[in-house]
C-alpha cells in the first residue's frame, strides 16, 4: 500500500452565519470555496489543476447553493472539466469523510494527487433547509428528540455533564483561540477572502469571527438554553452558526518526494461509527474506540487530539468516557481552541480539524508521533482519523 501525506491545507476564516452581522453575508459559498482552490494551486505551483486525480468535497446540507457544490464550484472556478469531483454527505463528518476518501484512494494506488475539501454556509443554506424527514423515521424516534440542541441536552443529562464544566470548556476554548490567533498560529491556514464588516465596510477577512476576547464565566452563567426549558445547553456552550470552507492537498509520498514537497504527517487509519441519533454527540467515543482498536493503539499512544466541539456536553462526555481528559483546560486537546470559539461550518469542520492538527504537529507539537481528529454528526454518524508523523 502507498502512503498518503498531507502536502498543504488551507481554509477561509470561520465567520458568523448571520444575514446582517456575518462577514461573508454577501459572498456565496461556491465563491469562497473557489478562492480556496485557487490559493491551493497558487501555493503549490508545481502542480497544475489537470494533474489532480479527483476532488472530494464534504457538505452537510447539499441543497440550494450547496447542491452538488463539489462539481458546480469546480466548474464555476474555471477548473478543468476532465477532473472528476465527488460531493460527500455525512452531516458534520462530511469534510473528514472527504479527506479519508482521498487518502484511501491514494493508498490503493488509484491516483497520486487529490484535493479533499469541505464547505458550509449555515446562513445561506440553514441546517434544516429543504429537509423532508421520512415519516417512518418519526415512528422510530420522537421528532422533538432529533434536533441537535435536544441531543446535546440529552447527552448532558445522560452523562451527568454539569453546566459549569461546559462553560469552563467554552471559556478555555475562547482563551486558547485568542492566544493562538494573536500568536499568528492560524496564519499558515487562513486565506484572506474579501467580506464585509458589520457596518458594511469591505475588508479582507483573515480571522475567525466568533472568537471572544471578553469571554466571561459570570456572563455565561446568566444565559438561558434555547433548546429546553431550564436546560443547560446555552448558545455559549453550543458551536455557533458558521460559514467557511477548507481544502487539503493530499499526495502519495512518492509523488510528493518526486515534486520536492515537504510534509509532516500521513494518514494512518480512519473509523466511522453509528449511534442513536437522539444522542448523536457521543458518537466520537465509538469512532475513536474503533479507530484505536483497528490501529492497535491506546489513548496513551495519542499525543494530541482535535475534537470538534459541536457542544460542550458531548465534547466532555466523549473525552471523559474515552479517558482522555476530565475538565478544561485540557493539556493536549484542541490546543488552539475548538469549535465553541472557532465556529463549526458543518461540512467544513472535519477537514478543518485535520488542517489545524497538521499545523499543530508542525509547530507546537513537533515531537508528537500520533494525532487523532474526531467529530460527531447529526442523526448519529461519527468519524475519527489517525495521523502519524512521517519518519524521514
Ligand atoms: C445556540 C444557537 C441556537 C444560538 O443561535 P442564535 O439564537 O441564532 O444566536 P447567536 O448564535 O447569534 O447567539 C445569540 C447571542 O448570544 C451571544 N453569545 C453566544 N455565545 C456567547 C458567549 N460565550 N458569551 C456571550 N454571549 C454569547 C451571541 O453573540 C449572540 O448575541 P449578539 O447577536 O448580540 O452577538 C445556535 O448557535 C445553534 O443552533 N448552535 C448549534 C448549531 C448546531 O447544531 N450545529 C451542529 C452541531 S452537530
pLDDT digits (tens, 9 = 90+) for 114-150: 999 999 999 999 998 999 999 999 999 999 999 999 9
Q: Which of 4, 57, 92, 275 is catalytic?
A: 92
Q: How far apart are CA 347 and CA 118, in angstroms?
A: 5
Out of 1.20.1250.20, 3.40.50.300, 3.40.47.10, 1.10.3720.10, which CATH number does the structure's domain 137-184+229-237+268-385 have? 3.40.47.10
H/E segment holding residue 384: strand 381-389
For 136, 153, 225, 273, 279, the CA distances from 229, given in Å and listed in that order, are: 28, 10, 7, 31, 18
Pairing of strands 242-252, 113-121: antiparallel
Q: Give the confidence band of 33 by pLDDT, cuts at 50, 70, 90.
A: very high
Residues in contact with 45: Cβ distance below 8 Å, sequence separation at least 6, in sequence order = none
User: Does the pLDDT at position 87 exceed 90?
Assistant: yes
For ligand 1, atom 37, which residue shows the shortest CA distance?
240
Residues with CB under 6 A from ligand 1: 92, 148-149, 170, 212, 215, 219-220, 226, 235-236, 238-241, 310, 344, 346, 376, 378
**Residue 240 Cα, ligand 1 centroid: separation in angstroms?**
5
Q: Would you state the pLDDT for residue 45?
A: 98
Ligand 1: which of 241, 352, 381 to mutate, most ligand atoms within 8 Å of CB? 241
User: Does the pLDDT at position 392 exceed 90?
Assistant: no
pLDDT (tens digit, 9 = 90+) per residue, 297-323? Answer: 999 999 999 999 999 999 999 999 999
pLDDT (tens digit, 9 = 90+) per residue, 340-384? Answer: 999 999 999 999 999 999 999 999 999 999 999 999 999 999 999
Q: Would you state the pLDDT for residue 355?
A: 98
- Measure the CA angle with vertex 32, ends 104 and 24; round to 5°: 130
Mean pLDDT of the chain: 98
- What is the percent of the chain with per-residue pLDDT over 90, rounded to a whole number? 99
Domain spans, the chain: 137-184+229-237+268-385
For ligand 1, atom 4, which residue shows the shortest CA distance?
235
The tally of CA atoms less than 13 A away on the side-chain side of residue 346 is: 27
Q: Give the confidence band of 60 by pLDDT, cuts at 50, 70, 90.
A: very high
Indicate if 92 belongs to the active site.
yes
Average pLDDT, integer, range 189-211 = 98
Q: Would you state the pLDDT for residue 313?
A: 98
Q: Would you state the pLDDT for residue 128?
A: 87
pLDDT (tens digit, 9 = 90+) per residue, 217-276? Answer: 999 999 999 999 999 999 999 999 999 999 999 999 999 999 999 999 999 999 999 999
Indicate if 344 belongs to the active site.
yes
Q: Would you state the pLDDT for residue 2?
A: 98
Q: Which of 18, 101, 264, 344 is catalytic?
A: 344
Query: What b/e string do you get for 42-61 counting C-beta neighbours within 10 Å, with b at 16 or more?
Result: eebeebebeebbbbbbbbbb
Amino acid at each position: 500500500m502507498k502512503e498518503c501525506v498531507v502536502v498543504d491545507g488551507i481554509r477561509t476564516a470561520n465567520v458568523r452565519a448571520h444575514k446582517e452581522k456575518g462577514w461573508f453575508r454577501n459572498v456565496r459559498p461556491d465563491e469562497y470555496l473557489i478562492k480556496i482552490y485557487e490559493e491551493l494551486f497558487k501555493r503549490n505551483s508545481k502542480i497544475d489543476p489537470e494533474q489532480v486525480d479527483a476532488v472530494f468535497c464534504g457538505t452537510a446540507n447539499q441543497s440550494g447553493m450547496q447542491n452538488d457544490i463539489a462539481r458546480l464550484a469546480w466548474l464555476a472556478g474555471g477548473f478543468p472539466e476532465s477532473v472528476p469531483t465527488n460531493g460527500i454527505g455525512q452531516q458534520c463528518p462530511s469534510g473528514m469523510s472527504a479527506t479519508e476518501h482521498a487518502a484511501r484512494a491514494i493508498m490503493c494506488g488509484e491516483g497520486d494527487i487529490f484535493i479533499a475539501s469541505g464547505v458550509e454556509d449555515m446562513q445561506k443554506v440553514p441546517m434544516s433547509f429543504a429537509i423532508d424527514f421520512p415519516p417512518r423515521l418519526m415512528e422510530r424516534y420522537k421528532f422533538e428528540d432529533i434536533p441537535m440542541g435536544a441531543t446535546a441536552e440529552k447527552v448532558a443529562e445522560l452523562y451527568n455533564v454539569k453546566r459549569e464544566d461546559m462553560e469552563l470548556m467554552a471559556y478555555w476554548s475562547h482563551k486558547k483561540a485568542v492566544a493562538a490567533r494573536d500568536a499568528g498560529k492560524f496564519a499558515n491556514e487562513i486565506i484572506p477572502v474579501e467580506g464585509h464588516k458589520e457596518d458594511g465596510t469591505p475588508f479582507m477577512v483573515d480571522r475567525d469571527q466568533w472568537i471572544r476576547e471578553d469571554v466571561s464565566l459570570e456572563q455565561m452563567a446568566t444565559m438561558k438554553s434555547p433548546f429546553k426549558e431550564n436546560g443547560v445547553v446555552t448558545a455559549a456552550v453550543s458551536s455557533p452558526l458558521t460559514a467557511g470552507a477548507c481544502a487539503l492537498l493530499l499526495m502519495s509520498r512518492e509523488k510528493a518526494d518526486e515534486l520536492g514537497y515537504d510534509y509532516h504527517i500521513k494518514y494512518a487509519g480512519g473509523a466511522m461509527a453509528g449511534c442513536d441519533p437522539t444522542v448523536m454527540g457521543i458518537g466520537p467515543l465509538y469512532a475513536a474506540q474503533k479507530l484505536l482498536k483497528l490501529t492497535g493503539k491506546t489513548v496513551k499512544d495519542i499525543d494530541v487530539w482535535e475534537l470538534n466541539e459541536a457542544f460542550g456536553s458531548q465534547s466532555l462526555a466523549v473525552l471523559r468516557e474515552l479517558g482522555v481528559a476530565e475538565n478544561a483546560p485540557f493539556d493536549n486537546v484542541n490546543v488552539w481552541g475548538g469549535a465553541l470559539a472557532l465556529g463549526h461550518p458543518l461540512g467544513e469542520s472535519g477537514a478543518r480539524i485535520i488542517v489545524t492538527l497538521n499545523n499543530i504537529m508542525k509547530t507546537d507539537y513537533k515531537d508528537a508521533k500520533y494525532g487523532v481528529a474526531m467529530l460527531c454528526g447529526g442523526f448519529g454518524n461519527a468519524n475519527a482519523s489517525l495521523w502519524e508523523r512521517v519518519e524521514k
